[in-house]
Structure 1
Amino acid sequence: MDYRNNPNERLLGSSPYPLVNCAYTLGTPEEARSETFWQMLTKIACPFFAAKTFISFITIFQITLYIISVAYDPSEESLFRPSYEALNDLGERNATKLQKFQIWRWITPVLLHASLSHLIFNMIMQLILGTRLEPTVGMKKTLYLYFLCDFGGNLLGAILDPNARAVGASTSIFGMISAMIAWVLMNWHSLEGNAYRVITLLVLLILMIMSLITGIVSTQTDNSGHFGGMIVGFIAAYAIFDYIGQVSDKDRLWKTCAKAAILAYFAVGLIYFYGFMVI
């Protein structure tokens, strides 16, 4: 979506890239007075929201699957959360079953959530981040990044904490944060005239640190999965995202090294998990 071509929209920034723009103001004062609370909230939190995007689709799918998981087998503790058996049947990360080659469990945990609060928090974070990342790098690259971080986070989680059973979009959310940091860094000089590059980088770093601290002090948090998603997201950004403007030989070298690092991460991890780990 090109926000620059709409005469009723004013760009609050100096870049065509939503990731390093603060927001857009939309319409006239009269229109602002008639907007609903939901419209106002969307413009504040997700000013670049669009319905026909990967982030919108995956969010709707995850919400739908949560409803299905609760209906399939509600928890005895609460009618509004799925049981442990439901999450296991639908594809939670389970290292024992992964070693029995139920390989879909590398991917399916990102689609499931353990409670309503877990779902709501992750969906809010996903929309805030994804609606800025996707219009900046494109739908396909966002999709590739999302599931690479999901896979990579679950791989490290299964290796470091094989007894844990995990679900949730946090692996991909951590990956998106680190990928956005990487995008700003890899295009730092090309964004030299952008007033928001420093602010964007600081906000993302603070968000990453706060999220890591929250995970460390919280119980029943898949910290190893979060860390794996973060590592994969940062490296994958250099591997699959495009540079702005002219690409130097140094940039090409970074991209080649990042692709090699991603392949090594998954190759070494999978060989170790299936070849040497005993659960």
Structure 2
Amino acid sequence: MNEFQFEPKIRVKLPSLISEILKQDSINFAMNANKLCNTIFAYYAINHTLLEDVSVEGCNNQTLQFTLNNDNQDLFMALCDTINISTKALFFRNLFFQYCNQPIYVREQIIYNSSYQMLLNAIKARRKLKIRYKNSYRIIEPYFIIKSDGETRNYVFAYCDSQQRYCNYRLSNIHAVGIITKVPFEHYDEEYIKTMHRNFDAFLSYGQTIQVRLDEIGQQMFQRNLTHRPKLLNHQNDIFELECSQLKAQLYFPQFMHHAEILSPPELRTWFHDQFTAVYTMYTKDAG
């Protein structure tokens, strides 16, 4: 038995690109580096058939250090009896390379694999699922998991019993607690679910429209600013009809300032009026 099997401290040199991806994932998934690395190892230790010998090229100018937790020490010891690990550093180097070589939405599925697998099982069985979301427990009917257009996030489309409406949840924001095996779906609408899948929008914009007037600069901004940009349905002169929920509009259009004027719906126009009035008041309260 090799002596490295008893040492929980891991020290491995990685190409700078791999190190930067791990640092960014630590931020994206709100985990410190030690927890992130332990989570990645636990996934591949359990799914070790996914591991392959790879040639990792690049400058080894970044050193990664972390400590295996107690459970992962046991996993590593068991893994040493299952696969050939010549050197610990090379093993973890290859492991992190394979993880970082995945698109971010796949890495998210790896980090939150316990919830991800439970969601898949609930969807397949058409059974309700108890989740923890923002420090409260909810019961949902999960219908499908889909990645965002930019392939950066996983979203769960579901009916929420406590909200009494259809919702999108980000995979990283929920923790699956358990499948309620005795309670089947009660709000399953196959045609509606298929429609929402075909027209997926993280902000549930399908079927909702707004009208906005864009001046010349606003139209240039609309062409250029792609993040959360609403779908264009029609436009005549400077008036644009967009498929857009009110939440999406509230996130997207403040950056346009006076180059965009919300025309409808009235409640959205009122929201923008109140927000910009508050901004005006803040900047003029000490004037004169």
Q: TM-score, normalised by structure 1?
A: 0.28
Q: TM-score, normalised by structure 2?
A: 0.27
Question: Which protein has the bigger helix share?
Answer: 1
Which is higher, the Rg of structure 1 or of structure 2? 2
Question: Which protein has the bigger strand share?
Answer: 2
